[in-house]
């Protein structure tokens, strides 16, 4: 039995799988925005990043699957300055990732503004990774800048399962950065990407990856849904290849998942454009490739095909074996639970779905 955790603008909603689909189990943090959900499978601990209008960001964890939610310390920038000289302040907790299997108590946290934080005590305290915060490229507003936010933010953290010293982060906007020494130093990995919104679209830093995923079956294969297309790399980010379709679908979007057993198989849910954030042609479609993007086809049976204004955010699409789930900005939740993909609607009256996770 799988558990689906849906972080929405009004709470954390928990579903479990049954023979009849997904069943509502619980709602936590009712009325508050849940922007980050993570499960550290090493201990079975659930994590939630919660936004309060009056008290700001809060970080909670649960060791009993939501029965109780103790609060822990949120990351603090502790005197770190933004390029304009202003004091950096935590605006949002975006993502969390565990350390390698030989780092039992290490957790990584990505935030807005674009801070990467590390915990060595299982999440009781976090410290800013200054090697990335002070990276020379950050000093230029043409290299690190906001996209949909006033400041750049870190939304994806990937740790190599074969080497815990090897880490990637994705920054909107700046690009993909890699560390091979446990975060002591960082190097941009954006060759082959296109930043069409800049005077020089082939800059080293200044790209806008919307979501970054490492293939579980091959750590050398990385995928990203980018502002300027869908890209993959088969050499660990050394070179990215544009696998967008010429007619633009799939092209722009946020959501991306990769098959656990086949590194060349992936799914995206396109958006019309940056300017028109609706489903392309007002039709909600999921696109699939099984040949590293050489070809794409729709897997959209069961989805509405007219007057669709929904889009799917970067962390609101999840896959575990045959179960696939995504939620939309208009509060619609869909799942498919068989080899032949067919989408069933779970809910139609949720609020905006920010993030999804299958346990």
In this predicted structure, what is the pLDDT of residue 150?
A: 83
Cβ–Cβ < 8 Å for 84, 114:
no
In this predicted structure, what is the pLDDT of residue 43?
A: 87
**Contacts of residue 249, Cβ cutoff 8 Å, sequence gap at least 6:** 270, 280, 285, 287, 296
Give DSSP secondary structure letters for 313-347: -TBSEEEETTEEEEE-TTS-EEEEESSS---EEEE
In this predicted structure, what is the pLDDT of residue 140?
A: 77
Looking up tokens 């674009």, which residue turns up? 114
In this predicted structure, what is the pLDDT of residue 20?
A: 87
Give whole-number Cα distances, 339 to 248, 286, 343, in Å: 27, 15, 12
Evaluate whether residue 26 is within a structural domain. no
**CATH number for the domain including 278?**
2.130.10.10
Evaluate whether residue 30 is within a structural domain. no
Cβ–Cβ < 8 Å for 206, 171:
no
Evaluate whether residue 56 is within a structural domain. no
CA–CA distance, 28 with 133 (Å, rounded to integer): 33
Kindly state the DSSP code that residue 294 receives in the 8-state scheme.
S
Evaluate whether residue 77 is within a structural domain. yes
Question: How many structural domains compose the chain?
Answer: 1
**Contacts of residue 238, Cβ cutoff 8 Å, sequence gap at least 6:** 189, 191
Evaluate whether residue 3 is within a structural domain. no
Q: What is the pTM of this model?
A: 0.96
pLDDT in tens, the chain (359 residues): 899 999 999 999 999 999 889 999 999 999 999 999 999 999 899 999 999 988 999 999 999 999 999 999 999 999 899 888 889 999 999 999 999 999 999 999 999 999 999 999 999 999 999 999 999 999 877 799 987 778 999 999 999 999 999 999 999 999 999 999 999 999 999 999 999 999 999 999 999 999 999 999 999 999 999 999 999 999 999 999 999 997 779 999 999 999 999 999 999 999 999 899 999 999 999 999 999 999 999 999 999 999 999 999 999 999 999 999 999 999 999 999 988 999 999 999 999 999 999 99
CA–CA distance, 107 with 125 (Å, rounded to integer): 10
Structural domain including 133 reads: 40-51+71-347
Evaluate whether residue 28 is within a structural domain. no
Evaluate whether residue 357 is within a structural domain. no
Mean pLDDT score across all residues of the chain: 96
Evaluate whether residue 63 is within a structural domain. no
């Amino acid at each position: 039995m799988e558990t689906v955790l849906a972080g929405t603008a009004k709470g954390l909603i928990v579903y479990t799988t049954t023979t009849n689909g997904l069943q509502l189990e619980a709602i936590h943090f009712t009325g508050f925005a849940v922007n980050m959900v993570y499960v550290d499978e090493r201990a079975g601990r659930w994590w939630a990043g919660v936004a309060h209008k009056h008290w700001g960001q809060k970080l909670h964890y649960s060791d009993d699957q939501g029965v109780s939610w103790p609060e822990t310390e949120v990351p603090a920038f502790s005197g770190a300055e933004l390029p304009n000289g202003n004091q950096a302040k935590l605006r949002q907790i975006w993502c969390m990732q565990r350390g390698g299997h030989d780092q039992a108590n290490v957790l990584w946290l990505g935030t807005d503004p674009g801070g990467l934080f590390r915990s060595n005590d299982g999440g009781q305290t976090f410290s800013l990774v200054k090697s990335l915060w002070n990276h020379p490229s950050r000093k230029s507003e043409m290299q690190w800048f906001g996209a949909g936010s006033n400041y750049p933010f870190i939304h994806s953290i990937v740790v190599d399962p074969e080497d815990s010293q090897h880490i990637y982060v994705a920054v909107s906007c700046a690009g993909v950065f890699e560390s091979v020494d446990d975060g002591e130093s960082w190097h941009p990995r954006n060759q082959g990407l296109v930043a069409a919104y800049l005077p020089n679209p082939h800059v080293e830093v200044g790209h806008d990856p919307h979501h970054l995923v490492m293939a579980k079956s091959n750590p050398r294969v990385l995928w990203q849904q980018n502002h300027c297309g869908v890209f993959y790399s088969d050499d660990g980010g050394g070179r990215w290849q544009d696998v967008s379709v010429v007619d633009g679908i799939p092209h722009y979007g946020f959501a991306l998942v990769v098959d656990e057993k086949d590194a060349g198989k992936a799914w995206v849910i396109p958006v019309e454009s940056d300017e028109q954030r609706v489903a392309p042609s007002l039709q909600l479609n999921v696109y699939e490739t099984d040949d590293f993007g050489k070809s794409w086809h729709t897997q959209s049976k069961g989805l509405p095909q007219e007057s669709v204004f929904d889009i799917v955010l970067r962390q609101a699409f999840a896959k575990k074996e045959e179960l696939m789930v995504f939620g939309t900005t208009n509060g619609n939740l869909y799942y498919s639970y068989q080899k032949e993909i067919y989408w069933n609607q779970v809910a139609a009256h949720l609020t905006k779905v920010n993030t999804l996770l299958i346990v």
